[in-house]
Amino acid sequence: MTFAELWRELEPLGRDPGTGGYRRYSWTPADAACRAWFTRQAERLGLTVEPDNNGNLWAWWGPERTNVIVTGSHLDSVPDGGGYDGALGVVSALAAVEELQARDFYPERGMVLAVFTEEEGARFRVACLGSRLMTGAIDPDAARALSDDEGITLAQAMAAAGGDPGRLGPRDDLLDTIDAVVELHVEQGRALAPLGSAVGIAKGIWPHGRWRLDFRGRADHAGTARLADRKDPMLPYARTVLAARRAAADSGALATIGKVIAEPGGANGVSSAVTAWLDARAPDEARLEKAVTAVRSASMRYSSECGVTVTISPESYTPPVHFDENLRDRIEGVLAAAGIPEISRAPVLPTGAGHDAGILAARVPTAMLFVRNPTGVSHSPAEHADLADCEAGVHALAAVLEDLAARP
Ligand SMILES: [Zn+2]
């Protein structure tokens, strides 16, 4: 099957007909449909699909399981996410294998397509959960106890979907067999468009994290409680949103409050509590810390002025990632020699977006390919990549896999 044919099959799965956005949350029926589709496609190519103990899928090509080359990405989405984030890397991996098979290539070393679970952290709030579990970056007990907005724990959700949460945990044995990881991903920004290249190579990932802010006040009657008597958590919350924007601009960072829950959530009452999530990223840790500290102190000052308490707790943190320089240089050389104008001068780019490849980079040589996103919009139904660029990405990935598989 061509890339376009594969794409057309995956495209409707988990898409909301109203918004056109994707709601592929881990361990839901939409997630199961995506997994089943991947399994079917990988098996059609003769690969052996094995779920690991952490809920990630591994599709093995060939008999060897040593000196393993890994490619893949994720199939889960943010709320109303775009179709390309994650899925492009998975579909491109399948299409690249198909391209290599059409050239009668057969790997003499382990080659595997991986689909990582809960990369977005959209359901259980820890991004890259599948790769974090694999590398031991999160404790299995802590992971099992993570809960979604309905109070369902990861352990419960995984068990309900037929998984065994009792087996969650690090996989040093598997990591020790891996020589290289290459994740292809849609670009989540607009760096490639003005450079005239369909494909870019990742330099590194900015340090980034998520913080939960709990503002606690007192529920009251919107019609009778005097303004002076209220303890309204919405007020310090609202000012904190603006403070985050200012702190980001002042620190050369990015800071976003994109999720908020007001309780009890009545239109005619003062809220008792407001919970918000801060996402912050920066080119280096000093600037990130500066921004987060500014938001923290602003939220505390505004809360005390309003008679509200606030607690700020980190939910996840990823230090800066520097991808493997040797692997990056080698990929640059492969693309330059591939004889395809759209990919031959692939620029090297930094990114503020987290990826499983960034987690795995702490343990194994890791690289990423980005496919041009003409508008740069991501985490939105408007996210897009042109078919010709996606196809160029498949050719690039196939060339890289062939090169990595051929020599040490
Ligand atoms: Zn992604």
**261: Cβ–Cβ under 8 A, 6 or more apart, which residues?**
149, 274, 275, 276
204 Cα to the center of ligand 1, angstroms: 15
116 Cα to the center of ligand 1, angstroms: 10
C-beta of residue 400 within 8 angstroms of C-beta of residue 383: no
83 Cα to the center of ligand 1, angstroms: 10
* Distance, CA of 321 to CA of 106 (rounded, Å): 32
286 Cα to the center of ligand 1, angstroms: 25
C-beta of residue 123 within 8 angstroms of C-beta of residue 109: no
C-beta of residue 145 within 8 angstroms of C-beta of residue 154: yes
**393: Cβ–Cβ under 8 A, 6 or more apart, which residues?**
88, 92, 184, 198, 199, 343, 369, 371, 385
82 Cα to the center of ligand 1, angstroms: 10
86 Cα to the center of ligand 1, angstroms: 4
The answer, yes or no, to whether residue 9 has pLDDT greater than 70, is yes
- Note the pLDDT tens digit of each residue in 125-152: 999 999 999 999 999 999 999 999 999 9
pTM of structure: 0.85
263 Cα to the center of ligand 1, angstroms: 31
344 Cα to the center of ligand 1, angstroms: 24
The average confidence (pLDDT) of the chain is 95
303 Cα to the center of ligand 1, angstroms: 35
Mean of the pLDDT values across residues 65-94? 96
- Note the pLDDT tens digit of each residue in 254-276: 999 999 999 999 999 999 999 99
235 Cα to the center of ligand 1, angstroms: 34
379 Cα to the center of ligand 1, angstroms: 9
Helix (H) or strand (E) holding 79: none
* Residue type, position 48, single letter: T
CA end-to-end span of the chain, whole Å?
Answer: 30
3 Cα to the center of ligand 1, angstroms: 19
CA proximity to 331, closest of 405, 391, 403, 407: 403
243 Cα to the center of ligand 1, angstroms: 28
Which band of pLDDT confidence, cut at 50, 70 and 90, is reported for residue 63? confident
219 Cα to the center of ligand 1, angstroms: 39
| Length of the chain in terms of residues written | 408
Mean of the pLDDT values across residues 193-205? 94
CA proximity to 288, closest of 258, 313, 320, 253: 253
- Note the pLDDT tens digit of each residue in 294-343: 999 999 999 999 999 999 999 988 889 999 999 999 999 999 999 888 89
51 Cα to the center of ligand 1, angstroms: 20
- Note the pLDDT tens digit of each residue in 336-376: 999 888 899 999 998 888 899 999 999 999 999 999 999 99
270 Cα to the center of ligand 1, angstroms: 38
C-beta of residue 181 within 8 angstroms of C-beta of residue 70: yes
310 Cα to the center of ligand 1, angstroms: 31
The answer, yes or no, to whether residue 48 has pLDDT greater than 80, is yes
Structure-derived torsion over alpha carbons of residues 79, 85, 91, 93, reported in degrees to the nearest 10: -140
Q: Is 328 exposed, middle or buried (0-12, 13-18, 19+ CB in 10 A)?
A: buried
Q: What is the pLDDT of residue 323?
A: 95
Q: What is the pLDDT of residue 72?
A: 97
